[in-house]
Structure 1
Amino acid sequence: MSVTASFQPDRISAAPGETAALSLHLQNNTDAERMVTLRAGGGLAAQTVLQTETIYLDPNEHFEVPVIVDASASLAAGSHSCVIEILDDNETSSAAATIEIDSTEAWTATLEPQRSKSATAGRHKVAIENAGNVPLMVELAATSAPEVATELAAPVVNIDPGKTARVEFRVAPHERFWNGPSIEHPFSLAVAGSNGDRSELDGIFEQGPRLRPWLLPAAAGTVAALLLGTLAWYTVLKPSVLDAAREDATEQDVVQQAELDDQVTAIEAAAEESAELPLGDPTDLRLSVDAAPATTSTEEFDFDVSGVGRILSISDVIFQNPTGAVGRVELLRDGDVLLDQEMANFRDLDFHLVAPLQVDSGSSISLRVTCETPGPGTETCEAAATVTGFVDDI
């Protein structure tokens, strides 16, 4: 070769996150001027920086080129080759040096969310990030008050370097109650890594009543309206109407009698209306979506396509993820997102709304599912939403 190249030294060690400095020695073995081009190659090409890439060498000249390798924190521990290719006219050669990356073990753990609220069970996730460059094994253990039971999806997880594992965690009370103030149940999660580091995560499950606070006042208002309407009809309106009808029956003709009948019908309709629920008649709807991996599917329901003037008040929404798929599920009204939930957080998840969501005539309700990973033993992400509420005329 007219130009030879070698690293001096040809082996160096570095810690993750540091830089390794090398020196590439070039020698022109001819009596003529040579121009060479340098190019980084091998597995560390993206992390290698050359001080210069084009060099002119005088006859028999020796030249040193500084080479910097960025040993990023995610680079796996062990031996890595830094390769520099040398192009001299039509000739190509290479020089290589070995970089030994030291092993490091580091990780972080967070609880998502730190507080949950439900009448049935609190759902959380433990996110564990392997910030080192060697595989990591982490053990999890939960402690709580005797009034609740805890359940971890996986008490032991193995995490590759640079990856993050999320473990589902569930807190459920042994006893449920129908009404009254919420009860807080604190719990703790002990996280221990294979490197000896430990972390303690604290959270709270707020157990609420099975009956929503607005339900009893609404029911009481409905009963009161029904009783008042019935009492007014039987004690005031109906006797007056019957007396007037008897007094005028002999004098009125067919037209007048028809008008009186219309008045009675209107009064009876008003009495029936007073017996209706404050938001209208109860109704329910179930939307179901089956999405293939890496796709998004939507099921849409058009409310009151006749446009006669009705309103849907949504008081409860229950998301279902029976197969344990991973992805995102969204409830939309006319294309706008109302509820958005990560499917890995739940198998079934209920929302009870203090102020109901309203859908007007001609609007649509949609369930949209974005599938990342189907559940065990399935090929698609299966998800559904059950919507309950009331329908009334505007």
Structure 2
Amino acid sequence: MSLTASLDASAVTVVPGEETTLPLQILNSGRTVEEYHFEVVGACAAYTAVEPAVLSLYPGDSGSVSVMMRPPRDSTVLAGETTFGVRVTPAGDRGETVVPEGRVTVLPFTETTAELVPRSSNGSRGGRHQFAVDNRGNVPVTVRLGARPGTEQARVVFAASELRIEPGHAEFAKLRVRPAKRMWRGTPVTHAFQVFAAPEPPEGEEPPPPVLVDGSYQQDPILPRWLPRALITAALLVLALVGLWYALLRPAVKSAAREAVTPEAVRSAAAADRSKAPEEGGQGGADPGGSASAGTGPGGGSGGATPSPGPSASGATGGSGSGGGTGGGAPTSAQARVQDAVGGGANTGTALTVPAGQTFQLTDIVVQNPQGDAGTVTVTAGEDTRVLSLGLENFRDSDYHFVTPILVPAGGKVTMTIDCRRIGKPVGAPAPSRCATSMFLGGTMRPDATD
């Protein structure tokens, strides 16, 4: 063989990011001039080159080339030992190719970077972040995680205290910032803090400085700013609905209720009460315990009482006669409307006068104050029986039903007296000049018993 190639050293140590040179000796023991080509094989071929790449030697001459190793300082070249070779190929006789071999050891290095995602957070109860740590060295690394709160008003808590990261990889650690005190209302407060990743160094090396990252957390109040405005708006809406009810809906409901109180409704109610009450008395006698509806009678008085149409006294007497002296009676109703001016004294109106030979059994009274006047109203039956005494300002419509009828003898009157103190103001109507109160009564007109 006319070619001899050998490395000056069979083992070499390289530092990532630096250049290392290893000489290669070539001897041409042939008889002709030869040109030699060089090629590095093995794991280090990506960062190794031979200079010069081509060498020509005369017969019997020797020469050397330099094997230049330039491993990059990144995670693509892992730390550790590997073999390599340099293929030397003669241009004239490729069959005489030789490959001298050696060992290369790449030294370890540590390099880490970190990032806080997101850099700022906000919330009323705490902020959430992720701490991303990237291993850019050529050996696995274990990093210790920690925090340095900027103030005592917040603390930082990691989900894990350390991370192990392979070369060229990144790992994420969750962390949460918690305020020391809750804030119910007020201006948001910003809390600054620092988190760090401290890598453990390779054996025999000094520890590298920790990687520091700044962050911030904005503590928001628990009660949002718009809550007071929302409460005020809700209160105003409730007040508006209440005002709408009293201004429009309530008068309409009361008006419908007043219109529903008719003489026919009172007579129907009286008939229902009479059907439930037990009958008393015998043939030819009056029934003092019976319930009655209303009847008419002559009404009059200075107050302008107006009797309603209904059976007259003579009609009631005639009904008794046709019954042959039994205890039957005629339903009778009447009404009166009394007006009175302020300061003019009381005014009285008569709703019913009982005819001779008859007894009126009063069972139902409906009193109405449609204008909302203020004053007093008194209802009397007979000479000295005061049935009702009411304050006008306490009601608009009021009805009364008596299980035991109030007896009004022949010649007796049912009257209503009002004393006006303040004239009311009805909704949607012209202002009146006088107080006005009406009464509707019902009962039974029975003939007096005869021997």
Q: TM-score, normalised by structure 1?
A: 0.50
- Percent identity between matched residues is 28
1:2 maps to what in 2?
A: 2
2:42 maps to what in 1?
A: 42
Matched, 1:181 2:187: yes
Instruction: Indicate which of 219, 236, 249 corresponds to 1:207.
Output: 219
Confirm or deny: 8 A CA contact 1:51 1:66 kept in the other structure.
yes
1:115 maps to what in 2?
A: 120
Matches within 5 A, 1:320-335: none
Whole-angstrom distance in 2 between the partners of 1:27 and 1:223: 104
1:78 maps to what in 2?
A: 80
Q: What is the one-letter code of the residue matched to 1:8? A: D
What is the CA-CA distance between 1:59 and the residue it aligns to?
Answer: 2.4
Matched, 1:168 2:155: no
Give the match's secondary structure for 2:215: strand
Whole-angstrom distance in 2 between the partners of 1:177 and 1:77: 53
Confirm or deny: 8 A CA contact 1:83 1:97 kept in the other structure.
yes
Give the match's secondary structure for 1:46: helix
| CA deviations over 1:277-300 (Å, ceiling 9, x no partner) | xxxxxxxxxxxxxxxxxxxxxxxx
Whole-angstrom distance in 2 between the partners of 1:33 and 1:230: 117
Matched, 1:136 2:136: no
> Residues 189 and 30 from structure 1, CA distance in 2 versus in 1: closer, same or farther, beyond 3 angstroms?
same
| CA deviations over 1:51-92 (Å, ceiling 9, x no partner) | 343444432332322221112223333333342222332444
Confirm or deny: 8 A CA contact 1:36 1:54 kept in the other structure.
yes
What is the CA-CA distance between 1:44 and the residue it aligns to?
Answer: 0.6
> Residues 179 and 54 from structure 1, CA distance in 2 versus in 1: closer, same or farther, beyond 3 angstroms?
same
1:375 maps to what in 2?
A: none
| CA deviations over 1:243-276 (Å, ceiling 9, x no partner) | xxxxxxxxxxxxxxxxxxxxxxxxxxxxxxxxxx
Confirm or deny: 8 A CA contact 2:133 2:197 kept in the other structure.
no
Whole-angstrom distance in 2 between the partners of 1:91 and 1:233: 114
Whole-angstrom distance in 2 between the partners of 1:115 and 1:177: 19
1:29 maps to what in 2?
A: 29
Q: TM-score, normalised by structure 2?
A: 0.45
| CA deviations over 1:181-216 (Å, ceiling 9, x no partner) | 213344444543323345355533211134543465
Where does structure 1 lack aligned partners over 5 or more consecutive residues? 240-394
> Residues 57 and 226 from structure 1, CA distance in 2 versus in 1: closer, same or farther, beyond 3 angstroms?
farther
Whole-angstrom distance in 1 between the partners of 2:47 and 2:54: 19
Confirm or deny: 8 A CA contact 1:186 1:204 kept in the other structure.
yes
Matches within 5 A, 1:269-308: none
1:151 maps to what in 2?
A: 157
Q: What is the one-letter code of the residue matched to 1:208? A: D
Q: What is the one-letter code of the residue matched to 1:193? A: P
What is the CA-CA distance between 1:94 and the residue it aligns to?
Answer: 1.2
Whole-angstrom distance in 2 between the partners of 1:157 and 1:94: 44
| CA deviations over 1:17-57 (Å, ceiling 9, x no partner) | 10111222222221123343322210011101233434444
Confirm or deny: 8 A CA contact 1:5 1:27 kept in the other structure.
yes
**What RMSD in Å do the two structures reach over aligned CA positions?**
3.7
Give the match's secondary structure for 2:98: strand
User: How many aligned positions are there?
Assistant: 241
Whole-angstrom distance in 2 between the partners of 1:218 and 1:90: 94
Greater shift, 45-54 or 139-148, is seen at: 139-148
Confirm or deny: 8 A CA contact 1:190 1:198 kept in the other structure.
no
Confirm or deny: 8 A CA contact 2:14 2:69 kept in the other structure.
no
Give the match's secondary structure for 2:99: strand
Q: What is the one-letter code of the residue matched to 1:86? A: V
Whole-angstrom distance in 1 between the partners of 2:242 and 2:44: 86
Confirm or deny: 8 A CA contact 1:191 1:198 kept in the other structure.
no
Give the match's secondary structure for 2:67: strand
Whole-angstrom distance in 2 between the partners of 1:61 and 1:43: 32
What is the CA-CA distance between 1:227 and the residue it aligns to?
Answer: 6.1
Confirm or deny: 8 A CA contact 2:38 2:54 kept in the other structure.
yes
| CA deviations over 1:112-157 (Å, ceiling 9, x no partner) | 4443212233122223333443332222234556765543122121
Q: What is the one-letter code of the residue matched to 1:137? A: T
> Residues 35 and 83 from structure 1, CA distance in 2 versus in 1: closer, same or farther, beyond 3 angstroms?
same
Whole-angstrom distance in 2 between the partners of 1:60 and 1:234: 126
> Residues 3 and 180 from structure 1, CA distance in 2 versus in 1: closer, same or farther, beyond 3 angstroms?
same
Q: What is the one-letter code of the residue matched to 1:172? A: R
1:103 maps to what in 2?
A: 108
Confirm or deny: 8 A CA contact 1:7 1:23 kept in the other structure.
yes
> Residues 87 and 159 from structure 1, CA distance in 2 versus in 1: closer, same or farther, beyond 3 angstroms?
same
Confirm or deny: 8 A CA contact 2:14 2:104 kept in the other structure.
yes
Give the match's secondary structure for 2:46: helix
> Residues 33 and 234 from structure 1, CA distance in 2 versus in 1: closer, same or farther, beyond 3 angstroms?
farther
